[in-house]
Amino acid sequence: MSDDTEVREIENERADAVRAMMDQWRDGKLTDAQDTFNTMMDQRADELVAGRKQEVATNMFSQAELPEPTAGEVDFETPEVPETETETEDEAV
């Protein structure tokens, strides 16, 4: 299926939903028309969010190209902790 055909099908589905909503409105079925409108908006919002998530994920992972450290490059310094003299109960008595 080509992209043009897919786009046309989506546009036709949306146009059919709008026609159905307008028919419901004309027939006095305002609650049904509102439900149809809400469904259309939910689908469109979901499509936009999914597209944005994909775009952000692609950019996030394509920019994070950090070199892997080798064994010789990673140096951990252990801080020196001064030893303190503590008295035990036996020494204090």
Q: Provide the pLDDT for residue 87.
A: 59
Q: Provide the pLDDT for residue 71.
A: 58
Distance, in Å, from the CA atom of 32 to the CA atom of 16, rounded to the nearest integer, reads 15
Q: Confirm whether 82 is domain-assigned.
A: no
Q: What predicted TM-score, i.e. pTM, was given to this entire model?
A: 0.54
Q: Spell out, as residue ranges, where the chain has pLDDT lower than 50.
A: none
Q: Confirm whether 88 is domain-assigned.
A: no
Task: Write out the residue range of the structural domain in which residue 46 sits.
Answer: 3-63
Q: Provide the pLDDT for residue 79.
A: 72
Query: Which residue bears the tokens 């994070």?
Result: 64
DSSP secondary structure string for all residues of 43-75: HHHHHHHHHHHHHHHHHHHHH--PPPPPTTT--
**CA distance readout (Å), 63 to 14, 50, 67:** 36, 20, 12
Q: How many domains does the chain have?
A: 1
Q: Provide the pLDDT for residue 82.
A: 78
Q: Confirm whether 53 is domain-assigned.
A: yes
